[in-house]
Amino acid sequence: MCTGACSKVVAVPLYILAPLSIICNIVLFFPDMDTKYAAQDQEGDPRITPEVKYMGGLIGGGIMALVPAIHIHLTASGKCCANRCGMFLSIGFAALGVAGAIYSLSTAALGLANGPVCLWSNRDHPVPRWGTPFANSNGSYLADKSMWEWCQVPKGVVEFNLGLFSTLLVAASIQLVLCLIQMVNGLFGCLCGTCSGKE
């Protein structure tokens, strides 16, 4: 496969994963599919998981992955762009995608490790309070579903955060691999040409 065709193979999944990351990040602002938690969220009295506000999915997995996807796709136009400069630039854009994927991956992993913000109580703390009950659990709550019952409001917030942050984690991991492949592909395309022996 020539390097131009490889670029197209890399670009198409990035086009899919970037909007997916953006949507996941936006939906995370509305636990229980309700806007009131975002409206009530204040400094010192959080209602939204802090890692959501880092915008890892929107900025890192979204915009910073979409920009390289567009350039990589244009570089691969017609499979045989014969454009060494375009392939060289694709290395830089792919590096931007790598940085975005790492940012999205980091925030998603942190969001999973710390768990959601919720109104919670347990045997040791019987009075309900807003906070992150799993912040010091080192992610152990993920394997212990009985702890999920600590969160009373928003309803199902642990599953909600787990599903969306896991999706962001997987999407960012795939983006990272694709952008690294494009960096190598771009180097070969820059040095050897995009499609030797073809138009």
Phi, psi of 41, deg, nearest 5: -65, 125
Residue 75 has pLDDT above 80, yes or no: no
Residue listed under structure tokens 């940085």: 99
Confidence band, pLDDT 50/70/90 cuts, at residue 115: very high
Rg of the chain over Cα atoms, rounded to whole angstroms, equals 21
The pLDDT assigned to 162 comes to 95
Asked if the model's pLDDT at residue 81 lies above 60, the reply is no
Residue 78 clears pLDDT 60, i.e. is over it: no
Q: Choose between 197 and 137: higher pLDDT.
A: 137
Name which residue leads in pLDDT, 86 or 52.
Answer: 52
Contact between 95 and 183 under an 8 Å Cβ cutoff? The reply is yes
Q: Please provide the average confidence, as pLDDT, over all residues in the chain.
A: 86
How is the chain split into domains, by residue range?
Answer: 3-192
CA-to-CA distance for 163 and 49, rounded, in angstroms?
14
Give the pLDDT confidence of 154-185 residue by residue, as tens digits: 999 999 999 999 999 999 999 999 999 988 88
> pLDDT value at position 2?
61
Reported confidence tier of residue 138, pLDDT bands at 50, 70, 90: confident
Which amino acid is located at 43 in the chain?
E
Mean pLDDT in residue range 58-76: 88
The stretch 32-51 carries a mean pLDDT of: 87
Q: Which residues fall within 8 angstroms of residue 126, CB to CB, at 6 or more apart?
A: none
Q: Is the pLDDT of residue 196 over 80?
A: no
One-letter amino acid at 110 equals: L
